Structure 1
Amino acid sequence: MSGAGAKTGHLDEKTRQLIALAVAVTTRCDGCITVHTDAAVKAGASKDEIAEALGVAVALNAGAALVYSARVLDAYAARTGTS
């Protein structure tokens, strides 16, 4: 599957692997982390570039946690009839 996106040529391999690492972290996939870290290094990604990609993943997870926390409170309010 990962080869399909490479055929378009819109993103270089390093960028694709950095995105894959961010997704691997957000989906908590240990195997994906191993495979895509190796591929990112082979594609020339530096430690700083990998760290920045991981920072994006962390920022999005925190944002998602905020949004979904609000949904929990909305569900609570709907269930209990309180706000």
Structure 2
Amino acid sequence: MSTDWKGLLGDAMQDLGELAKGNPKIMSAIRTFDEAAAAHGALDAKTRELIALAVAATTRCETCIAVHSKAAVDAGASREELLETLAVAIGLNAGAAFVYSSHILSAFDTLSKK
């Protein structure tokens, strides 16, 4: 896979800027969410960005990947920290698929009874 992450990040910032300019209330709401997430201060910026990358992996958001990868780099995250973070995300996705598979099996069995 060859993704131009720098180009994607630049394009995303431009597109999001246009959205914010066209509807300033959207940008204000996003800023409020971001400020609330960091308000307590128990987690440092690097940890918050690593969590954001784990979430980006599970939600499959390429723009989130670009934005939070850059922020994680800027916050001093190491490649080793990222790899451990991604292992947690992979495990969670596998676990979620396992749990939901049990729900699907239960639904199928229930709905197949006559």
Please state which band the TM-score falls in when normalised by the shorter chain.
over 0.9
Residue 36 of structure 1 pairs with residue 68 of structure 2: yes
Q: How many residues align?
A: 82
Aligned partner of residue 42 in structure 2, secondary structure: coil
What does residue range 5-44 of structure 1 map to in structure 2 within 5 Å?
Answer: 5-44=37-76
Larger Rg: 2
The alpha carbon displacement at 1:9 in A equals 1.1
> 2:81 — aligned with what?
49
- Structure 1 position 74, deviation (Å): 0.4
Rounded to whole Å, the distance in 2 between the matches of 1:33 and 1:3 is 20
**Counterpart of 1:66?**
98
Unaligned runs of 5+ in 1: none
Aligned to 1:76: 108
Shift of 1:79: 0.7
1:15-47 CA distances to partner (integer Å, 9 max, x unpaired)? Answer: 000000000110110100000000000000000
TM norm structure 1: 0.93
Aligned-pair distance for 1:78? Answer: 0.6
Kindly report structure 1 stretches of 4+ aligned residues shifted beyond 4 Å: none
Which range is displaced more, 3-12 or 26-35? 3-12
CA distance in 2, matches of 1:74, 1:5: 37
Gaps of 5+ in 2: 1-32
Give the alignment's Cα RMSD to 1 decimal.
Answer: 1.2
Q: TM-score with structure 2 length normalisation?
A: 0.69
